[in-house]
Amino acid sequence: MAEHPLKLIVVGSIGIDTVATPYDRAENILGGSASYACAAASLFSPTGMVGVVGEDFPTEHEDLYRHFAIDLSGLQKKPGETFRWSGVYRDNMDERDTLSTELNVFADFNPEIPPTYREAPFLFLANIHPALQLLVLDQMQSSFVLLDTMDLWINTELELLTQVIRRVDLLAVNESEAKQLTGERFLPVAARKLLDLGPDYVLIKKGEHGCMLFSNDRTILLPAYPLASVIDPTGAGDAFAGGMIGALASTDRVDTATLREAMVAGSIVASFAVEAFSLDRLQTLSRSELNERIRLYRAMIG
């Protein structure tokens, strides 16, 4: 149980990954959207995790969650094996090929929200089936909800996904997903159509080119932090979103100024996350390192 009231709940996948990049390979490492997002968010705000693992889930991975002081009241353990994914990144480190996906206990995931979680003011619905995201929304009383999704659900569950989008405050998609959802080529036009679906804000992630936040009265553009090298980009988007909503939860308010600062925080946490496999770099990240890179970034963008 968390020592402080939980301000943020993250619901997403938990997996064991095998990742190959042009530089290295790592087997059976901790992955999943909930893992990256919770670790990033916990740098700023008390965070609770909702996800499912199997009997094979290593004790050291649970210990790592506790290192980040993540509340695990919502972590389900079911008979069977944990979700597993393996993939290989191409030379540009932007495109990747999935080699195998084994859903295992994640195939029957039924997110049950503990009573201590239900009034947390901030909720991050990481990338899971839209039907599960709706189940979570029905159990929560959060005042601010961030939603992530993927091209699979746009192709196969568009009606359900649209229902979810209508109930959230901020929709986060990447550039191709924004175009896919709206059929529009230009991002400002796509963002306008997405705003018309109901959210107050639309965040479009552009990878190494930064991100764009749209609302009805303002657009915010931020570049990515320039890195000399990337070891493993897996989970970068989840680390960005987790860092962003974690920083936002720490302020207890949502407006243009706090959103911009939260985007800065998310960008910097993600820049650290890609410097090593899994959560390795976030595990060793010190507050002074984080603050110094945020300072450098602010000096860059003015």
The verdict on residue 2 lying in a domain is: no
- Which one-letter amino acid corresponds to residue 188? P
**Is a pLDDT exceeding 50 seen at residue 240?**
yes
pLDDT at 1: 44
Torsion sign, CA atoms 187, 188, 191, 196: negative
Residue 107 domain-assigned (yes or no): yes
CA distances for 151 relative to 83, 178, 214, angstroms = 20, 10, 20
Specify the pLDDT at position 229.
87
Phi/psi of residue 97, nearest 5 degrees: -115, 130
Q: What is the pLDDT of residues 196-206, one digit of tens each?
A: 999 999 999 99
Q: Is residue 1 part of a domain?
A: no
Structural domain count, the chain = 1
Give me the pLDDT at residue 212, please. 97
Calculate mean pLDDT across residues 158-177.
Answer: 97
Residue 3 has pLDDT above 70, yes or no: no
Quote the domain boundaries for residue 59. 8-301
pLDDT (average), residues 128-144: 96
Asked if residue 155 has pLDDT above 60, the reply is yes
Tokens standing for 24?
């290295």
Quote the pTM value: 0.95
Kindly state whether residue 27 falls inside one of the protein's structural domains. yes
Looking at the domain assignment, is residue 190 inside a domain? yes
Q: What is the mean pLDDT of residues 98-124?
A: 96
For the residues 68-80, what does the mean pLDDT come to? 98
Q: Classify residue 169: in a domain, yes or no.
A: yes
**What are the angstrom distances between the C-alpha of 222 and each of 97, 101, 217, 237?**
28, 33, 17, 15
Residues 13 and 128 sit within 8 Å (Cβ to Cβ):
yes
Is residue 4 scored above 80 in pLDDT?
no
Residue 133 lies in a domain: yes
In a domain, 90, yes or no: yes
Per-residue pLDDT at 110 exceeds 50: yes
The strand ranges marked E within 43-156 are 47-53, 71-77, 83-89, 96-102, 122-125, 144-148
Beginning with the edge strand found earlier in the chain, give each strand of the sheet holding 25-31 in spatial order. 25-31, 15-20, 83-89, 96-102
68-86 mean pLDDT: 97
- Whether 2 has a pLDDT exceeding 50, the answer reads no
Mapped onto helix, strand or coil, the DSSP state of residue 163 is: helix
Specify the CATH number for the domain of residue 108: 3.40.1190.20
